[in-house]
Amino acid sequence: METGFSAIDGPNRVVAEYLAELERASLFDERDSTLEILDRLVAHLETQFPQEEAVMREHSYLLLEQHIRSHNSFLRQLKRYQERHQLGENVSRRITYDLKIWLTNHIKLQDGNFSEMVGAKKKRKSGGWWRRLFG
Ligand SMILES: [Fe+2]
């Protein structure tokens, strides 16, 4: 699930670590830990998403606006979970599930689309078979 961009892959690996922490907290029903992990995850994503979007903007990514909407929507969802958890509801399993879906869908497919687009651009710039044959 790597895009080849360290500014995207590094922070995404951190999200995967948060998932492992949340799974552990959820398994042992550690409510305080869940909230603390969730707080750190939200803070991380509030930094990660704008950085990722800046990289995509640099490469004139065509689906940038759609990607930003997806980031914002996920952050809103996590913040709603923070509120519900603070109000006493146990949402740790739900958060863990959503984060797993996010990791497999968003990072693999949407971040992956960006990586493929940049890869295709680089290939076009290098000229393809015509340039290789006739220089
Ligand atoms: Fe993304």
Single pTM value for the model? 0.84
Q: How far is the CA of 102 from the centre of ligand 1 (A)?
A: 10
Query: For the chain, how many helices (H) and strands (E)?
Result: 6, 0
> From CA 48, how far away is CA 103, in angstroms rounded?
14
CA 60 to the chain's CA centroid: 19
Average pLDDT of the residues in 15-38: 92
Q: How far is the CA of 108 from the centre of ligand 1 (A)?
A: 9
Q: Is 117 exposed, middle or buried (0-12, 13-18, 19+ CB in 10 A)?
A: middle
Q: How far is the CA of 110 from the centre of ligand 1 (A)?
A: 6
| Mean of all residue pLDDT scores within the chain | 88
pLDDT at residue 128 greater than cutoff 70: no
Q: For residue range 100-113, what is the model confidence (pLDDT) as tens digits? A: 998 889 988 888 88
Strongest mean pLDDT among 71-75, 86-90, 91-95: 71-75
Contacts of 56 (CB under 8 A, 6+ apart): 64, 67, 114
Collapsing DSSP to helix, strand or coil, 88 comes out as coil
Q: What is the CATH number of domain 6-134?
A: 1.20.120.50
Greater pLDDT, 61 or 132: 61
